[in-house]
A and B are shown apart, each in its own frame.
Chain A
Amino acid sequence: MDISIQFKKGALELCVLVLIHERDRYGYELAQSVSEHIEVAEGALYPLLRRLVIEGYCTTYLQESTGGPPRKYYKLTPAGEIHMNKLVIEWKQFVRNVSTLIEKGTSSDE
């Protein structure tokens, strides 16, 4: 349980970057989209998003919404796209390596 939380936290940045890459999204929308796929404390998104902005991977802009507060949209910068691609490659490699290890380890059991 605890370990799986760590996994999710690690993957969260990547998921968010990919979702913003798909199209500009605002915070609540991102929370909804992320929790469609992985179960995570949605509140953790906002510190993460802030960090992405500080690091120059995202920019924000406000858009008025009907009957609610203005939506703060997040937009991926070119640097953010490079960062995302790097993370995607690293992620795939990591998953592949771990899967290979697991397969090797569990098949030699028998």
Chain B
Amino acid sequence: MNKSEYLALLHSHLSDLPPEERNELMEDYQAHFAFALQNGRSEADVIQELGHPAELAKEALGNRLPQEPIYWFGPGSPSSNHVPDPGPVPPVTPVTPHRGSFATAMVYTGLFFVDIIIGPLLLTLWSLWFALAAMAVGGLVSPFALGLEYLWYGELYQAKAFAVLALVGIGILLAIVSKRTFKDIKNLTLSFWAWHTRTVRGEQQYE
């Protein structure tokens, strides 16, 4: 590649630029060649030092490409070309704010009232769940109870056998229900607890 080939290649790579901008850059590169040759450099050396036209074009286009589309027309005020300076990055402050004693007292008071409502509510939910689970277990173990009774007294009532069938069915259904509700109540309790500790510590972020 010689000087004119290089410049032609560069010219074509810069074709996305507005014409006056491209011409200005081309003049710069032509002048660069002229000065370098004047100083006794070879064309090949200069081409080597300048870098590949595609890279230079990326450099020239990169100054504007991400911010706005390139228009070949229109006034295009020069100041709109550059990115506004983002300014210094604000220092990262630790997220735990230190509350005053008054605020702390108010938070604890508020939490106390919340707790005396939510606490018993959760307890009620848990006892309801426990009742459900106990019923499920009772239904499921009823065949064994019947078996024990048979072993002990040596006689089997048909009515009881049918009752056991029904009880096992109910037990299975209740077991499924209690398994699901266990998850829900557990999540509810855990998230309430997490919120509680967060509020006590006064942190902003979620765990």
A101 at the interface (CB under 8 A from B): no
B32 touches A27 (CB 8 A): yes
- Give the chain B neighbours of A48 by CB distance below 8 A: 59
- Give the chain B neighbours of A26 by CB distance below 8 A: 35
A61 at the interface (CB under 8 A from B): no
The count of A-to-B residue pairs whose CB atoms sit within 8 angstroms is 76
A38 at the interface (CB under 8 A from B): no
Q: How far is the CA of A49 from the CA of B60 in the complex (A)?
A: 10
B55 at the interface (CB under 8 A from A): yes
Question: Which of A27, A43, A54, A55 contacts B31, CB < 8 Å?
Answer: A27
Q: How many residues of B contact A (CB 8 A)?
A: 27
Stretch at the interface among A15-23, A67-75, A102-110: A67-75
B56 touches A41 (CB 8 A): yes
Given A47-B60, A54-B78, A54-B81, is A72 in contact with B31 using a C-beta cutoff of 8 Å?
Answer: yes
Given A54-B82, A72-B28, is A42 in contact with B35 using a C-beta cutoff of 8 Å?
Answer: no
A27 touches B55 (CB 8 A): no
- Give the chain A neighbours of B62 by CB distance below 8 A: 47
- Give the chain B neighbours of A43 by CB distance below 8 A: 29, 32, 49-51, 53, 55-56, 59
A79 CB, min distance to chain B CBs, angstroms: 11
**Dominant secondary structure of chain B at its interface with chain A:** helix
- Give the chain B neighbours of A56 by CB distance below 8 A: 79
B4 at the interface (CB under 8 A from A): no
Instruction: Give A51's nearest chain B residue, CB to CB.
Output: B63
Question: Which of B29, B35, B38, B79 contacts A46, CB < 8 Å?
Answer: B29
The 3 A-B pairs of least Cβ separation, nearest first, read A41-B51, A43-B50, A28-B35
For this complex, 26 residue pairs linking A to B, each with C-beta atoms less than 8 Å apart, are A26-B35, A27-B31, A27-B32, A28-B35, A28-B36, A41-B49, A41-B50, A41-B51, A42-B32, A42-B49, A42-B51, A43-B51, A44-B56, A44-B59, A46-B25, A47-B25, A50-B24, A50-B28, A50-B60, A50-B63, A54-B81, A55-B82, A56-B79, A68-B34, A71-B31, A71-B35
